[in-house]
Chains A and B, each alone.
Chain A
Amino acid sequence: EPEVTQTPSHQVTQMGQEVILRCVPISNHLYFYWYRQILGQKVEFLVSFYNNEISEKSEIFDDQFSVERPDGSNFTLKIRSTKLEDSAMYFCASSEARLAGLSTDTQYFGPGTRLTVL
């Protein structure tokens, strides 16, 4: 069964450094998402991406964050000047169709990247 993959599985960085988290969505999917989950807390939506542009973003997704689809397969999340509070699991997800409205399309999550900011 096709799956979403993410690399690295664990990233440790110093505060103030930039990190890039990588994701390979399922090949025929058109909608891509990033979420984060701080340890012990709920999953939070960061951003959705379609047709090479951001569709929606949350209040969390400020100028520190950016997303890119540099080629036909990768989807990346860049965090500039990381802060201690950026430490979390970051999940990439993809879906074939738009999830809004009456869509019952399945959204597939990757295994996550654990980011630790020291």
Chain B
Amino acid sequence: KNQVEQSPQSLIILEGKNCTLQCNYTVSPFSNLRWYKQDTGRGPVSLTIMTFSENTKSNGRYTATLDADTKQSSLHITASQLSDSASYICVVTRPSDYKLSFGAGTTVTVRA
């Protein structure tokens, strides 16, 4: 069964600090990987999109990496801000269909 596993489930960091979120997937075949930010009670918002041939993609203070050989991705948040408090979701797509596979998300809480 195709799966997307994220870790940690949640984390708390102080404002200004960095953090890294992990995503391991078994979806196969694989075409691209997306990271979304979901604020509480809101719809997900796209942060980065990487095809299997890309290793890294940045969007402001967010940097995603991808290792298609080990089927691992990470999302690094630099100099965190209070507004970064949200759930971060890893999503994997396959070449053939629209069935995006969602991870359960990592809940990040940034404290002053």
Residues of A within 8 A of B (CB): 4, 31, 33, 41-45, 48, 55-56, 58, 89, 91, 93, 98-104, 106-112, 114
Contact = CB atoms under 8 A, between A and B. Distances in A.
A55 B100 CA distance: 13
Contacts of B103: 42
A101 B43 contact: no
Interface stretch (B15-23, B74-82, B87-95): B87-95
A29 B51 CA distance: 21
Contacts, number: 68
A110 B75 CA distance: 23
Interface residues of B, number: 25
Interface string B42-72: 1111100111000000000000000000000
Nearest to A101: B95
Contacts of B42: 111-112
A41 B95 contact: no
Contacts of A108: 46
Given A42-B105, A111-B42, A100 B95 contact: yes
A106 B46 CA distance: 7
B43 A111 contact: yes
B32 A102 contact: yes
Contacts of A99: 93, 98, 100
A107 B50 CA distance: 13
A16 B100 CA distance: 30
Given A104-B32, A109-B44, A111-B42, A43 B49 contact: no
Nearest to B6: A42
B15 to A, nearest CB: 26
A41 B38 CA distance: 13
15 contacts: A4-B43, A41-B104, A44-B102, A48-B98, A91-B44, A99-B98, A100-B31, A101-B31, A102-B95, A103-B32, A104-B49, A107-B100, A109-B43, A111-B42, A112-B41
